[in-house]
């Protein structure tokens, strides 16, 4: 087996089936190094990583792995410990692998994007530090992924591949600069390319004036994307939390569903994300108690029922959680009236 | 740099280096204060801050699997033009962040001289996100980097220009595990096995935990069986859907088969919430052979898709939106791809 | 009339009377040659033929469950105004077919004098399609005709005018068997049981085939059990979803329960292919009590829906399209209906 | 039991649980009489039905039952035979009930509608006569329903509640009368209410001229519905055949899928619907062979797989059959290469 002392993951072992014929790659392991949030580096630190990689591994990297880690490819188990310690001395730790929390990752967010409604780098860094143990010592039923996108464009593709996806969103009205709208109007047909494409048809452009019925806006970003100089996300910024996305194994691929339509992440930041951490812990506890081996949390929720899951983690059902309410009428009512007192009762 | 004793103690659980230490000064000054951006030309954009400061980004296509020499080369460029700072993107591109507009062109020249393309912004073909493939993964049904290189050579032009109707996100995963965000890509190429794993009957007991191997199969095709007196398993060929899940759990059930491994193409996935909801990619070509080193069949199929899309989609329509408008029957008609029973989803009751 | 010996032979398998014998002459002459139609006023339309002939239709709301006297009354009117011809619609309305425009008003007066409304065309509330209910069905959880009568009395005005944004198709089914096209209605009211069937243990063996009773349950809640030495079944309360399927197969498992039976409301279904695809109705109110004779709770809920729709929908938007545009969260917000775990579909893996 | 000699259905029996207390309704059966296609009647025949109903039943009718039958309510078994025979002498036969073909029904079609692309009354009448035995003597696994709508408006709601739904459709271009378009333009905003609502955005209205890119038209009817005087369905008329719709029991409600995107029903009419009857027979044979008790044909197809079903009835898979191609990658390939000859082989 490949790995380092005290860690249950972070290194993926690979042994050749024909070690005698190919002694050079009889072992060819990969280390996952937790990337720097936002994928920001300095030349200095990169060169030092290159040196470590040359010295202890095959001189090959992935910048980055699909989860987000830096990967160092092609070392032998005997090099593992030194490679690891050199990395830690440079400030890098291992990322996740196996049935553990996987290395969280995020979009560039407020560092270089005007649309981020919260600090994606800060939250990702904070959660990563908080859950070092869950990342390095696999005790889950299966993997668990967290990704943070600053706005509904979801530039980290969190919605399709993270058990917990945090996506920035806002509440107040989209900020409109009519002068800049007029500038864009010179460049393209605003009615055709912006207004007519609004999914809820809540925009209007008449007599050179753009108006938005924000009460019907679903915060899709399209209009803002199209005219970044003229439109800006509304204030009252927060995030949406989705749960349960994953790719095919074992059940089939699925997108997540909205667990919290508006999470006041900027307020929670001031409290060291206490609310979020508590929520994550409750989800893990539930998964730990009811999940089976190799069952992602989304599959578990489907198996036991969304209602039961919500009850367990203490959230109320909301229409935002479903694409649409049920169409099939097989409702498992739990309340009923009892003949004697004609009072509403709960099933035993 | 994190504040730990670097001398003698064994360091663990420190987490990543703190990002604040790696942000270029102009970003530190304008963190969270960006006002808007403009795309200046393919691969180049500017972000303007409330403070009036301007940050120029030059996006460079990277191969993702890179050598330490590459790392040193880009570090040199970062030193020369960007005060030693640089970043990667979520699709494995490299970005140079400049505070001086006049550095853009010289930088681009040097980047191109190294053999790397500048582009991948706006209505272009983004960098192909991919996975390990034959390089490092045992489950792989195809060679990630090889196919991706062949594709990017061929469609290079769509990366360095922005003449597609909208962003096209292409991704490659070498097996059904679909590492990466391949499942929801405009064009997804996925390695496919077509035969059940082989049972190395004598090794099952030693290498595998039989109950979890059986439980791993999504279609209940793995069953316990005693072979030559040893506990082992058998695989029901009629049920197996070649997913490799049992192999992940039990290395004595290798699934690779040079003759029958190949790739499938799924299209019309989307992650952003812009205009339409995120959605998974849908099957268009169930199987194409691995034909190294240039995978001509795959390239032809992708060309067919890209050309039909370029021709048929309206400005601003992602692949998913285009097909949504014209309908799948029309898509199959235009492209000439055969529609088979494999295109119909029977795997799960729904 | 079909050509069979009407004297002595026992007649079977003749099928229905041939429709050609029942078409008014103007229709026979213009069969398949209609050019266009116009709606003249609520409940009245004209179809114009290639030949120039004009056919006037007056649509009359019927109760569907009708007496033989009603049948004779409408027959008299048909004789008087339509040469003895008349027809029903797929939603149980009655239609008088006139070839003389001047007959429209006198006919309408006589119809109204009989107490029946003229309307139900175009942007109106159509006739409520309904089922047997307590009148004739053993599975029913509510009283079809009773609820429908109360509703139609209340929303009469929407039938005789066309002031809704679009057609609204309301339907009622008295149990989950959903007889009728209730499942895909703009507003569907469905009788709901809330308790498992009672097992009349001593009668199961005589009245039922136990294996098929067990097989009938969609959630495997019926299990074999010997009770007092007799083969019978038991029902797992924790699983049962009160569908009545087992009762349909086995009359010794009655499910009706006056205290707990009631109705649910589903909305946003649609059958036509116009603009958007057909779709089933979705749950908005999981349970309301049976409160005869006027079902005030049901009427209130339907009023809430109709008013929100009338207020919020744009001209031409069916209920489904309206909600599609504003989103379900907004719908629940506007109407104030409580969103519960029952609204989330967990019944089937999907 | 309630019923008439030689028939297995057409009468639904109802016995009171408390016959002694309510002797008048101790039996209260219902007869389903096959309606006249299009629901056309004469006063003469209605009066005679009323007489039969008064004489032998409770004087109550349903005009009509939800499937389409006339229902006569409230008679005793001892009246059944005479009631039945009086009806047959009037020209009426019983409809379907139980695990049988149910009474087919249709929209008013060419009798009073300008949009019917085929003769809904004729086909429904023809099929009903053809399958008298399947209707009157239940031998199926469960019920089977056929409904015929003359165009995609589907005024008989076939798409949501018939195992086999036939819906008129056309191939050639929608016929446009620009003069009448101009008339409608005076009444409402054609761009807003017609063009912008076309689901495939294949219409254009510029400078008072309406154009349609029929190659992208999905024949939804919206534009025609909105301007019946100006637009007419295209020629080359036919129908779409859908299979598998049903309401909840036992699995859950489902809409059907397109089995045949364009069925040349008007040609088939000349051959006494030989193609359609053959298709129906093949579907029944398949259902008979593989279906289980109380399994609707749509549920069976889902259970065994659409591909296998199509193979059995001899149809090719077509993209029209699916809402979208599969997203999950668990493909059950049947072809593979064999090492020796490197030839494409079929699984044994
Ligand atoms: C290295 C990496 C691919 C890459 O080249 O980028 C990778 C590689 C493997 N993945 Fe993955 N996965 C990688 C990102 C992903 C992602 C993307 C993501 O995390 O955003 C996914 C899809 C998202 C998801 O989790 O749903 C992903 C979904 C899987 C799955 C399917 C899980 C499922 O629930 O369906 C498996 C199968 C398994 O866990 O047994 C899997 C299993 C594996 C294994 C461990 C297969 C195995 O049994 O050995 C691969 C090891 C390859 C190797 O030799 O290094 N990998 N894998 C990615 C991790 C690098 C990193 O840490 O940055
Ligand atoms: C740098 C990066 C974030 C990061 O932290 O690394 C980024 C950066 C930007 N994205 Fe993105 N996106 C990045 C990955 C993504 C992804 C994720 C992915 O591709 O895996 C998505 C989701 C794609 C999808 O839906 O499948 C994504 C969907 C968008 C969209 C929505 C596009 C749409 O109409 O669907 C926009 C808005 C736009 O371009 O109009 C956007 C807009 C932007 C803007 C304009 C945001 C800004 O103001 O700075 C940035 C440059 C645009 C560009 O590349 O054309 N970004 N963006 C990622 C660059 C990836 C790359 O190298 O190609
Ligand atoms: C008489 C009848 C057919 C029959 O054989 O009995 C009929 C007759 C007409 N229908 Fe219908 N439809 C009839 C049931 C239906 C149904 C089925 C149902 O309600 O169960 C539907 C599907 C409803 C649904 O989608 O849930 C139906 C969806 C339509 C539509 C599509 C409306 C839409 O925009 O979704 C049209 C077109 C329109 O009205 O613009 C239409 C149009 C018409 C026209 C204008 C056709 C014509 O040119 O003659 C007829 C009068 C319109 C009206 O009633 O407003 N007919 N029509 C049925 C009258 C039922 C009733 O008494 O209320
Ligand atoms: C009379 C009628 C309701 C009405 O008042 O209109 C009716 C009445 C019954 N239906 Fe129905 N169904 C009637 C049309 C329908 C329809 C509508 C249709 O045919 O277009 C449906 C939905 C379409 C479908 O079949 O999917 C329908 C779906 C059911 C079901 C559920 C079938 C399923 O696969 O989900 C059952 C349950 C069963 O078969 O055991 C059912 C069972 C029944 C039974 C036989 C219940 C029973 O076990 O006794 C009802 C007898 C009532 C009685 O006492 O007369 N009835 N039933 C309709 C037949 C009249 C006619 O022949 O014209
Ligand atoms: S997800 Fe939003 S905030 Fe983050 S980089 Fe993309 S556009 Fe900017
Ligand atoms: S963000 Fe999207 S939904 Fe909101 S107004 Fe803009 S385009 Fe419309
Ligand atoms: S997609 Fe499959 S083969 Fe490729 S890296 Fe992931 S697990 Fe390995
Ligand atoms: S490859 Fe997949 S389907 Fe086949 S036996 Fe293994 S786990 Fe089952
Ligand atoms: S809906 Fe249920 S109760 Fe009503 S008639 Fe049909 S089977 Fe009977
Ligand atoms: S009522 Fe339905 S769910 Fe309950 S036991 Fe009977 S068949 Fe099963
Ligand atoms: S379905 Fe079409 S043809 Fe039949 S009545 Fe309705 S609109 Fe006319
Ligand atoms: S029938 Fe429907 S799809 Fe075709 S042009 Fe008219 S509105 Fe568009």
Residue minimizing CA distance to atom 7 of ligand 7: B177
Q: How many CB atoms lie within 10 A of CB D172?
A: 11
pLDDT per position as a tens digit, B22-61: 999 999 999 999 999 999 999 999 999 999 999 999 999 9
> Is the distance from CB of D257 to CB of D265 less than 8 angstroms?
no
pLDDT per position as a tens digit, C202-234: 899 999 999 999 999 988 999 999 988 899 999
Sequence-distant (≥ 6) Cβ neighbours of residue A27 within 8 angstroms: A2, A13, A14, A15, A16, A75, A76, A77
Integer angstrom CA distances of residue A290 from A276, A283, A304, C342, D11? 21, 11, 8, 21, 51
pLDDT per position as a tens digit, A229-268: 999 999 999 999 999 999 877 777 889 999 999 999 999 9
pLDDT of residue A1: 79
User: Could you tell me which residue, C139 or D126, shows the higher pLDDT?
Assistant: D126
pLDDT of residue A249: 74
Q: Provide the pairing of β-strand A175-176 with A164-170.
A: unpaired
Measured between CB atoms, does D43 come within 8 Å of chain A? no
pTM listed for this prediction: 0.93
Q: Distance (Å) from the C-alpha of residue B291 to the closest C-alpha of chain D?
A: 14
User: Could you tell me which residue, B227 or D287, shows the higher pLDDT?
Assistant: D287
Q: Which ligand neighbours the alpha carbon of A68 most closely? A: 1
The chain D residue lying nearest C282, using CA atoms, is D253
What CA–CA distance (Å, rounded) separates A211 from A221?
15
Q: Is the pLDDT at C2 greater than 50, yes or no?
A: no
Q: State the average pLDDT over residues D118-130.
A: 98
Residue minimizing CA distance to atom 2 of ligand 8: B243
Contact residues, chain A, for C341 at CB < 8 Å: 305-308, 310-311, 317
| Pick from A196, A248, A329: CB nearest D329 | A248
Q: Which ligand neighbours the alpha carbon of D250 most closely? A: 4
The chain D residue lying nearest B173, using CA atoms, is D329
In eight-state DSSP terms, residue A94 is B
Q: Provide the pairing of β-strand C54-60 with C65-67.
A: unpaired
Q: Where do runs of H (alpha helix) occur along B66-209?
A: 68-82, 104-113, 144-160, 201-207
Q: State the average pLDDT over residues B314-321.
A: 96
Q: Is the pLDDT at C7 greater than 60, yes or no?
A: no
- What confidence tier does A339 reach under pLDDT thresholds 50, 70, 90? confident
Residue minimizing CA distance to atom 47 of ligand 3: D113
Measured from the CA of A106, which atom of ligand 5 is nearest?
4
Bridge partner residues of C57 (DSSP): C45, C97
The chain D residue lying nearest A246, using CA atoms, is D328
The chain D residue lying nearest A247, using CA atoms, is D328
Which stretches of chain C sit within 8 Å of chain B by CB?
A: 348-350
Residue minimizing CA distance to atom 57 of ligand 4: C179
Q: Write out chain D in H/E/C secondary structure.
A: CCCCCCCCCCEECCECCCCCCCHHHCECEEEEECCCHHHEEEHHHHHHHHHHHHHHCCCEEEECCCCCCEEEEEECHHHHHHHHHHHHHHCCCECCCCCCECCCEECCHHHCCCCCCCCHHHHHHHHHHHCHHHHHCCCCCCCECEEEECCCCCCCCHHHCCCEEEEEEECCCCEECHHHHHHHHHHCCHHHHCHHHCCCCCEEEECCEEEECHHHCCCCCHHHHHCCCCEECCCCEEEEEEECCECCCCCCCECCEEEEEEECHHHHHHCCCHHHHHHHHHHHHHHHHHCCCCCCHHHHHHHHCHHHHHHHHCCCCCHHHCCCCCCCCCCCCCEEECCCCCCEEECC
Contact residues, chain C, for B348 at CB < 8 Å: 349-350
Packing angle, helices D43-56 and C68-82, rounded to 10: 170
Q: State the average pLDDT over residues C12-29.
A: 98
What CA–CA distance (Å, rounded) separates C246 from C215?
8
- Percent of chain C whose pLDDT exceeds 90: 90
pLDDT of residue D287: 97
pLDDT of residue D343: 52
Q: Where do runs of H (alpha helix) occur along chain C?
A: 25-30, 68-82, 104-113, 144-160, 201-207, 210-216, 245-249, 296-312, 319-326, 328-335
Q: Is B78's CB within 8 Å of A250's CB?
A: no
Q: How many contacts does A have with D, using Cβ atoms within 8 A?
A: 17
Q: What spacing in Å lies between the alpha carbon of B90 and ligand 6's midpoint? A: 25
What CA–CA distance (Å, rounded) separates C183 from D253?
8
Q: Is the CB of B305 under 6 A from ligand 8?
A: no
- What confidence tier does B172 reach under pLDDT thresholds 50, 70, 90? very high
Please state, rounded to an integer, the average pLDDT across all residues of chain B. 94
What CA–CA distance (Å, rounded) separates A83 from A85?
6
Q: How many CB atoms lie within 10 A of CB D182?
A: 14
- Of A8-12, A145-149, C204-208, D341-345, which range is least confident? D341-345
- Of A139-143, B182-186, C345-349, D183-187, which range is least confident? C345-349
Q: Distance (Å) from the C-alpha of residue B346 to the closest C-alpha of chain C?
A: 12
Q: Is D112's CB within 8 Å of C34's CB?
A: yes
D99 Rama class: left (phi>0) / alpha (psi -120 to 50) / beta: beta
| Pick from B88, B136, B245: CB nearest A28 | B136
Q: How many CB atoms lie within 10 A of CB C38?
A: 12
pLDDT of residue B8: 64
pLDDT of residue A272: 98
Q: Is the pLDDT at C97 greater than 60, yes or no?
A: yes
pLDDT of residue C9: 82
Q: Is the pLDDT at D346 greater than 50, yes or no?
A: no
Q: Which of B141, B240, B251, B256 to mutate to test the pocket of ligand 8 (most atoms within 8 A of CB)?
A: B240
Give the SS3 label for residue A342.
Answer: coil
Give the SS3 label for residue B112.
Answer: helix
Residue A156, judged by CB atoms within 10 A of its CB (0-12, 13-18, 19+), counts as: buried
Q: Is A330's CB within 8 Å of D196's CB?
A: no
pLDDT per position as a tens digit, D156-208: 999 999 999 999 999 999 999 999 999 999 999 999 999 999 999 999 999 99
pLDDT per position as a tens digit, A90-116: 999 999 999 999 999 999 999 999 999
Contact residues, chain B, for A45 at CB < 8 Å: 17, 22
Q: Is the CB of B139 under 6 A from ligand 7?
A: yes
pLDDT of residue C345: 86
Checking ipTM against 0.85, whether it exceeds it is: yes
- What confidence tier does C3 reach under pLDDT thresholds 50, 70, 90? very low
Q: Is the pLDDT at B1 greater than 70, yes or no?
A: no
> Is the distance from CB of A82 to CB of A203 less than 8 angstroms?
no
Contact residues, chain D, for B342 at CB < 8 Å: 307, 326, 331-333
Please state, rounded to an integer, the average pLDDT across all residues of chain A. 94
CA-based nearest residue to D87, from D37, D53, D133, D136? D53
pLDDT of residue D348: 35
| Pick from D7, D41, D167: CB nearest C87 | D41
């Amino acid at each position: 087996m490949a790995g380092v002392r005290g860690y249950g993951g972070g290194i993926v072992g690979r042994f050749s089936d024909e070690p005698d014929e190919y002694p050079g790659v009889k072992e060819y392991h990969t280390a996952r190094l937790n990337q720097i949030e936002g994928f920001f580096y300095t030349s200095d630190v990169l060169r030092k990583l290159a040196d470590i990689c040359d010295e202890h591994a095959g001189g090959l990297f992935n910048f980055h792995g699909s989860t987000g880690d830096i990967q160092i490819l092609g070392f032998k188990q005997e090099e593992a410990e030194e490679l690891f310690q050199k990395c830690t001395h440079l400030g890098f730790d291992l990322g996740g692998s196996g049935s553990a929390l996987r290395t969280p990752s995020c979009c560039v967010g407020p560092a270089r994007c005007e649309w981020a409604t919260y600090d994606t780098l800060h939250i990702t860094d904070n959660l990563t530090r908080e859950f070092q143990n869950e990342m390095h010592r696999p005790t889950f039923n299966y993997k668990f992924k967290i990704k943070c996108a600053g706005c509904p464009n979801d530039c980290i593709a969190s919605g399709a591949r993270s058990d917990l996806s945090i996506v920035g969103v806002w509440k107040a009205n989209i900020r409109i600069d009519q002068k800049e709208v007029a500038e864009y109007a010179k460049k393209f047909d605003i009615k055709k390319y912006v207004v007519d494409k609004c999914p809820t048809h809540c925009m209007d452009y008449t007599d050179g004036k753009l108006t938005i019925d924000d009460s019907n806006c679903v915060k899709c970003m399209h209009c803002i994307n199209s005219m970044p100089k003229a439109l800006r996300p509304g204030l009252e910024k927060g995030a949406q939390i989705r749960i349960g996305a994953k790719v095919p194994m074992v059940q089939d691929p699925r997108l997540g569903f909205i667990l919290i339509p508006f999470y006041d992440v900027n307020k929670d930041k001031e409290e060291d994300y206490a609310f979020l951490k508590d929520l994550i812990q409750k989800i893990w506890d539930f998964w730990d108690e009811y999940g089976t081996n190799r069952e992602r949390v989304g599959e578990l929720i489907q198996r036991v029922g969304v209602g039961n899951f919500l009850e367990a983690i203490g959230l109320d059902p909301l229409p935002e959680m479903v694409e649409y309410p049920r169409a099939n009428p097989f409702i498992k009512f739990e309340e009923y009236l009892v003949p004697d007192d004609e009072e509403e009762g709960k099933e035993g | 740099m994190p504040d730990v004793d670097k001398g003698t103690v064994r360091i663990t659980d420190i987490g990543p280096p703190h990002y604040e230490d790696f942000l270029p000064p102009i970003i530190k000054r304008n963190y969270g204060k960006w006002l808007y951006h403009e795309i200046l030309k393919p691969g180049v954009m500017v972000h303007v801050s409330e403070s009036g400061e301007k940050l120029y980004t030059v996006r460079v296509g990277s191969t993702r699997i890179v050598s330490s020499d590459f790392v040193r080369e880009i570090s040199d460029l970062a030193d020369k033009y960007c005060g030693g700072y640089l970043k990667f993107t979520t699709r494995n591109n490299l970005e140079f962040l400049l505070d001086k507009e006049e550095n853009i062109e010289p930088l681009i020249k040097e980047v191109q001289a190294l053999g790397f393309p500048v582009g991948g912004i706006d209505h272009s073909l983004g960098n192909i996100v991919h996975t390990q493939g034959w390089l490092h993964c045992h489950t792989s049904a195809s060679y990630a980097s090889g196919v991706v290189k062949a594709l990017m050579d061929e469609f290079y032009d769509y990366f360095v220009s922005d003449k597609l109707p909208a962003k096209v996100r292409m991704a490659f995963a070498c097996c059904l595990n679909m590492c990466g965000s391949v499942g929801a890509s405009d064009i997804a190429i996925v390695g496919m096995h077509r035969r059940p794993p082989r049972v190395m009957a004598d090794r099952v007991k030693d290498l595998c935990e039989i109950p979890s191997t059986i439980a791993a199969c999504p279609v209940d095709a793995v069953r316990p069986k005693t072979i030559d007196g040893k506990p082992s398993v058998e695989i029901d060929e009629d049920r197996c859907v070649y997913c490799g899940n049992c192999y992940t759990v039990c290395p004595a059930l290798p699934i690779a088969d040079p003759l029958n491994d190949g790739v499938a193409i799924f299209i019309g996935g989307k992650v952003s919430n812009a205009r339409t909801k995120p959605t998974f990619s849908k099957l268009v070509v169930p199987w194409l052979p691995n034909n190294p080193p240039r995978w001509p069949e795959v390239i032809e199929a992708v060309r067919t898709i890209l050309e039909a899309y370029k021709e048929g989609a309206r400005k601003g329509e992602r692949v998913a939106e285009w097909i949504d408008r014209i309908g799948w029957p029309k898509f199959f008609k235009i492209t000439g791809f055969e529609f088979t029973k494999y295109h119909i989803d029977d795997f799960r009751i729904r």
